[in-house]
Amino acid sequence: MVKAKIQEIFRSIQGEGKYIGVPQIFVRFSGCNLNCTWCDAREGNDKCQEYTALELWKALEPLWLGCHSISLTGGEPLVQTEFLKEFLPIVKTQRVTVFLETNGTLPDALKEVIDDIDIVSMDVKLPSSTKGKEYWDEHVKFLRTAWGKDLFIKAVISKDTSMADMVKAVEMISKGDPTMPFFLQPNHFEIKTGAMEKCLEFQNYGLNYLTDVRVTPQLHKFMDLK
């Protein structure tokens, strides 16, 4: 029986993207395949708790009433795909909406669980933002797998994010579906030092090719929520 490593479980409101403000149960999976410079979820990986699929559902069930969906977040939930293959069918029998927050770099893992996921919030990892490697090929494959779901895309924008990376991101989205919602999220710690200005510049550029480009800071950070 597969067990998941879970960093925390809590009820709050969604602070990012298309469903900003809705009540959700958040399941923060421990561990990630990336190491982004601005990641806010690395702390606590050594304090996680293990759950079987049924144990996790029993922990979530008392929190569910009135919630819009269960957000699988992290870390990167798709690192623990074998667990998700056991957990998601249990959730779906309860007619619960499943919301996946993902870095969009593990398309093969997504294929194994996509049928039981309703909403996909995919980050585009811009190299100039993350200070890491490029994942354009992985992102394209991931998007192809996620088409048909309620899908939207986010990108964290820092003061160092380059226009060259934004051009690639907009091109990738426009080739797939130019109506796809694209959210530009300023790095919370750089809002007053260049990130917001970059977001507005990139929004103006993106709207030449896409129909829905929004600048949305992290609401939960301003409200001092998780």
Average pLDDT for 210-217: 96
Confidence class for position 199, pLDDT limits 50, 70, 90: very high
| pLDDT (0 to 100) of residue 217 | 87
Q: What size, in residues, is the chain? A: 226
The amino acid occupying position 16 is E
Report the side by side order of strands in the sheet with 23-29. 49-51, 4-13, 23-29, 69-73, 98-102, 119-123, 150-157, 182-186, 213-215
SS (H, E, C) the chain: CCCEEEEEEEEEECCCHHHCCCEEEEEEECCCCCCCCCCCCCCCHHHCEEECHHHHHHHHHHHCCCCCEEEEECCCHHHHHHHHHHHHHHHHHCCCCEEEEECCCCHHHHHHHHHHCCEEEEECCCHHHHCCCCCHHHHHHHHHHHCCCEEEEEEEECCCCCHHHHHHHHHHHHHHCCCCCEEEEECHHHHHHHHHHHHHHHHHHHCCCCCCEEECCCHHHHCCCC
Q: What's the confidence (pLDDT) of residue 132?
A: 84
Q: Given a cut of 70, is residue 43 above it in pLDDT?
A: no
More confident residue, 222 or 164: 164
Q: Where are the domains of the chain?
A: 4-222
Q: What is the pLDDT of residue 47?
A: 79
pLDDT band at 12 (very low <50, low <70, confident <90, very high): very high
- Judged against a pLDDT cut of 80, whether residue 192 lies above it is answered with yes
Statement: the pTM of the whole predicted model exceeds 0.75:
yes
Give domain 4-222's CATH number out of 3.40.640.10, 3.20.20.70, 3.30.360.10, 3.40.50.2300.
3.20.20.70
The predicted pLDDT at position 72 comes to 98
**Residue-wise pLDDT tens digits, 154-189:** 999 999 999 999 999 999 999 999 999 999 999 988
User: Residue 223 — very low, low, confident or very high, per pLDDT cuts 50/70/90?
Assistant: low
